[in-house]
Structure 1
């Protein structure tokens, strides 16, 4: 088990088509509200945000805000 993710609830793996350590989304039920969402990357780094911030990010992605970044 990865000690960096002990106690976290896994929500999603982004990519998952390889074994290279894809970014993953977790919920940390023990964290303060403003740090409840945890996103890890394949370099061992992590960011934490609130559920509200995640909701804003998802809404922006749905509305095309990130399309230029990925070359759509």
Structure 2
């Protein structure tokens, strides 16, 4: 799994199992453009700026990502 040392956990998505659910972190030591970290259950990670993450959240709030959600 990805090394999570020094990351501040913000949220775990799912969390109803013990399979390594995707998680959202802040990396205070990272450059500003890589401070937000999303990990998946395969050990991969995506890093982005707070502005990029804010844009993603805004689009989700507007319903632009609803078609991606599956029941």
TM-score range, shorter chain: over 0.9
User: What SS does the aligned partner of 1:38 have?
Assistant: strand
1:37 aligns with 2:28: no
Gaps of at least 5 residues in structure 1 are: none
Gaps of 5+ in 2: none
Could you state the TM-score of these two structures normalised by the residue count of structure 1?
0.92
Q: Which runs of 4+ in 1 moved over 6 A?
A: none
**RMSD over equivalenced CA pairs, Å:** 1.6
Partner of 1:61: 60
TM-score by length of 2: 0.93
Aligned length, in residue pairs: 71
